[in-house]
Amino acid sequence: MGGYNTWTIAQARDKLKAREITSEEITLSCISAIDDADALGAFVHKTPDKAVDQARSADLLLKQGDAPSLCGIPLGIKDLFACEGIPTQAASKILNGFKPEYESTVTQNLRNAGAVTLGKVNMDEFAMGSSNETSIYGNAVNPWKFSDKALTPGGSSGGSASAVAADLCLAAIGTDTGGSIRQPAAFTGIVGIKPTYGRCSRWGIVAFASSLDQAGPMCKSVRDTAIMLEAMCGFDQKDSTSSERSVPNFEAMLTGNIKNKKIGIPREYRLDGMSPQIESLWKDGADMLRYAGAEVVDISLPHTKYALPAYYVIAPAEASSNLARYDGVRFGRRAKLNAGESITEMYERSRSEGFGNEVQRRVMIGTYVLSAGFYDAYYNRARKVRSLIKKDFEDVFAAGIDAVLTPTTPSAAFELGKLETADPVEMYLNDVFTVTVNLAGLPGISVPAGLNSEGLPLGLQLIGRPWEEGDLMNIAHTLESATGFVEKPVKWW
Amino acid sequence: MSIDRATAARVAKLARIKVDESSLDILADEFNQILGFIEQLNEVDVEGVEPMTSVSPQKLKRRVDQVCDGDQQERVLSNAPDAREGFFAVPKVVE
């Protein structure tokens, strides 16, 4: 009995619709897997009672025969999404005990589609990090292992990635500001897509860098990401940057036909000292797409090198503004004041006690680049470079390129604790292949493509034209079929 | 450009984050590492380039300027560290 937690969304959906299984059975299977997996640090606020209630309601709908697309599918929710009455603290001490009075649009959309929510999953504090080591809850751990070393699941959506890869849920939601869905997906052998900026409403998602943040699904297959993205996205009056474009039936676009599609291989992504394994995986991916009928051509994205430095101006600048709201007044944690301490001391101590080191560092860098005298030299210059990076992509799309193929990350998952001695810039290099996509507002998807010599998963990234997620997922689906990646981590937890 | 102790202290003050005297040198070092990395942007020719304001070309939507929500005092205050008589309470700000 059991084992339903290992199913994909598509599998579960079909069996639920055929009345061969109930949502309650699948949900209980996930709950027991979650309770058995505390060593992974993936689920940080469990809501099993709520999940079972939701599953029973879903079963009623299924019985009546008018079930929506995700009816009865149990999911993990990144701690960045506000869920009414459920602790939501962006893995930060400063939001200790915060229980939103409202529901984020994305989680509401998922609930409207019938999804069951199992609880909140781990992440880097305020989504700032690439290894899930800046979380107040402690590390999330990768279910994949190499010679007994505990590895990072990546970040910032590390809990989502760990939970999906370890089959604690059928899928999870993450957010991606510089690679936070795609890098952890690659590190854990799952699929993750960041849609076009504006596809998903940001309302109710704890803000990091508003011009870059997007929510997206993290799943066991490309088909699942198509099903889930369609349910998550759409216009929302509460987010003025959300798009009014109609949402297509993404799943119906997974035809497997990529004849005459033009795939670009950007030469600037071939880094000095890149691991030969990643290089050969990339080449194999290009060959597979070619055999499937696509035309593969070399392209140039000349400003790639400047994406990371531009990002590390723009994202902290926006963060310093967004995080100004954590002042110990309206919500969140206030420092205990001594007699005679003023309101300024209350702000300063609440923020220094409540924010972790990386968050403090980024807020201060953001403050600096926005301060009088430096605004033009740093912030405006970075925004100009961002325009150039976007233009790089516009130029190749105008020349007929349908999608760009790159590695997702410069390495496989690394050991937890490895970054402790590294300088901040070294950590930032994890995002080198993913961050361009956020700066240009494009959709990007990571697909597991193989294992390295240590038996750890590696991912390939496909970058698509704006609003063409359907087309992009079709190409990703073709790549997924061609790589035939089916490996799962060996259970040790 | 190099950030010294005094600048680090000023930035911390602007960001309203208390930093101990003893941590200022380390903080200044970290700032310099990050800013050193960012300096690469100076290599780019940005002559005549518009700074990006919106990544997707769309106009922000407008709505009629009218009250569409309200009367939720209890819920608004429910997460406050200190709320009294329907207000947020803070230490005294005027002498």
In a domain, residue A179? The reply is yes
Q: Are A282 and A479 in contact (CB under 8 A)?
A: no
A441 chain-B contacts, CB cut-off 8 A = 55-56
Nearest to A177 by CA among A213, A128, A202, A126: A213
| Complex ipTM more than 0.85, yes or no | yes
Nearest to B41 among A240, A368, A385 (CB): A385
Contact A343 B58 (CB under 8 A): no
CB contact residues (below 8 A), chain B span 23-82, against chain A: 27, 30-31, 33-35, 37-44, 46, 49-56, 58, 60-61, 63, 72, 75-76, 78-82
Active site residue A157: no
Nearest to A348 among B17, B38, B56 (CB): B17
Nearest to B18 among A240, A352, A425 (CB): A352
Nearest to B27 by CA among B53, B44, B3: B3
Q: Which of B4, B19, B38 to mutate to test the interface with A (most CBs of A within 10 A)?
A: B38
In a domain, residue A322? The reply is no
Task: Check residue A326 and give its pLDDT.
Answer: 98
A104, A130, A131, A156: the active-site residue: A156
Q: Are A125 and A91 in contact (CB under 8 A)?
A: yes
Radius of gyration for chain A, computed over Cα atoms and rounded to the nearest angstrom: 21
Q: Spell out the residues 6+ positions from residue A78 whose beta carbon is closer than 8 angstroms to its own.
A: A120, A121, A123, A157, A159, A160, A172, A173, A174, A175
Is residue B2 less than 8 Å (CB to CB) from chain A?
A: no
Contact A368 B31 (CB under 8 A): yes
Is residue B22 less than 8 Å (CB to CB) from chain A?
A: no
- Model confidence over A202-230: pLDDT tens digits? 999 999 999 999 999 999 999 999 999 99
Nearest to A329 among B30, B75, B88 (CB): B88
In a domain, residue A236? The reply is yes
A229: phi then psi, degrees, rounded to nearest 5:
-60, -40
Helices within chain B (DSSP H only): 5-14, 24-38, 73-77
A23, A130, A162, A180: the active-site residue: A180
Nearest to B47 by CA among A388, A374, A317: A388
Contact A329 B75 (CB under 8 A): no
Q: Tell me which H or E stretch contains A461.
A: strand A457-464
Task: Check residue A1 and give its pLDDT.
Answer: 47
In angstroms, the separation between the Cα of residue B7 and the nearest Cα of chain A is 9
In angstroms, the separation between the Cα of residue A366 and the nearest Cα of chain B is 9
Give me the total of CB pairs closer than 8 Å, taking one residue from chain A and one from chain B. 163
Q: Are A390 and B55 in contact (CB under 8 A)?
A: yes
CB atoms within 10 A of CB B6: 10
Task: Check residue A413 and give its pLDDT.
Answer: 96
pTM: 0.97
Nearest to B41 among A306, A330, A343 (CB): A306
CB atoms within 10 A of CB A445: 33
- Average pLDDT of A482-491? 96
CA distance A216 to A195: 6
| Pairing of the two strands A116-121 and A171-176 | unpaired
Give residue A360's Cα distance to chain centre: 22
Nearest-by-CA chain B residue for A100 = B79
Contact A348 B16 (CB under 8 A): yes
In a domain, residue A208? The reply is yes
Active site residue A69: no
A78, A120, A194, A220: the active-site residue: A78
Task: Check residue B1 and give its pLDDT.
Answer: 58
- Model confidence over A454-472: pLDDT tens digits? 999 999 999 999 999 999 9
- Model confidence over B35-75: pLDDT tens digits? 999 999 999 999 999 999 999 887 777 889 999 889 999 99
Which residues are registered as beta bridge partners of A287? none
In angstroms, the separation between the Cα of residue A71 and the nearest Cα of chain B is 30
Contact A383 B52 (CB under 8 A): yes
Number of structural domains (chain A) is 1
Nearest to A363 among B17, B35, B56 (CB): B17
DSSP count for chain B of H helices, then E strands = 3, 2
Contact B51 A384 (CB under 8 A): yes
Q: Spell out the residues 6+ positions from residue A265 whose beta carbon is closer than 8 angstroms to its own.
A: A282, A286, A296, A297, A298, A299, A404, A405, A406
Contact A344 B16 (CB under 8 A): yes
The CATH number of the domain where A96 resides is what? Answer: 3.90.1300.10
Nearest to A183 by CA among A463, A446, A480: A446
Nearest to B41 by CA among A392, A311, A208: A311
In angstroms, the separation between the Cα of residue B77 and the nearest Cα of chain A is 7
Active site residue A242: no
A349 chain-B contacts, CB cut-off 8 A = 18
- Model confidence over A136-147: pLDDT tens digits? 999 999 999 998
Contact B58 A360 (CB under 8 A): no
- Model confidence over A307-335: pLDDT tens digits? 999 999 999 999 999 999 999 999 999 99
**CA–CA–CA angle A246, A252, A258 (5° rounding):** 105
- Average pLDDT of B19-27? 94
CB atoms within 10 A of CB B54: 13
Burial class (CB in 10 A: 0-12, 13-18, 19+), A261: buried
User: Per mean pLDDT, which range of A415-424, B11-20, B64-73 is the poorest?
Assistant: A415-424
- Model confidence over A435-451: pLDDT tens digits? 999 999 999 999 999 99
Nearest-by-CA chain B residue for A317 = B15
- Model confidence over A162-201: pLDDT tens digits? 999 999 999 999 999 999 999 999 999 999 999 999 999 9
In angstroms, the separation between the Cα of residue B27 and the nearest Cα of chain A is 8
CA distance A216 to A478: 20
In angstroms, the separation between the Cα of residue B75 and the nearest Cα of chain A is 6
- Model confidence over A229-280: pLDDT tens digits? 999 999 999 999 999 999 999 999 999 999 999 999 999 999 888 889 999 9
A397 chain-B contacts, CB cut-off 8 A = none
The single-letter DSSP state of residue A380 is: I
| Pairing of the two strands A74-78 and A116-121 | parallel
In chain A, pLDDT over 90 holds for what percent of residues?
94
Task: Check residue A421 and give its pLDDT.
Answer: 79
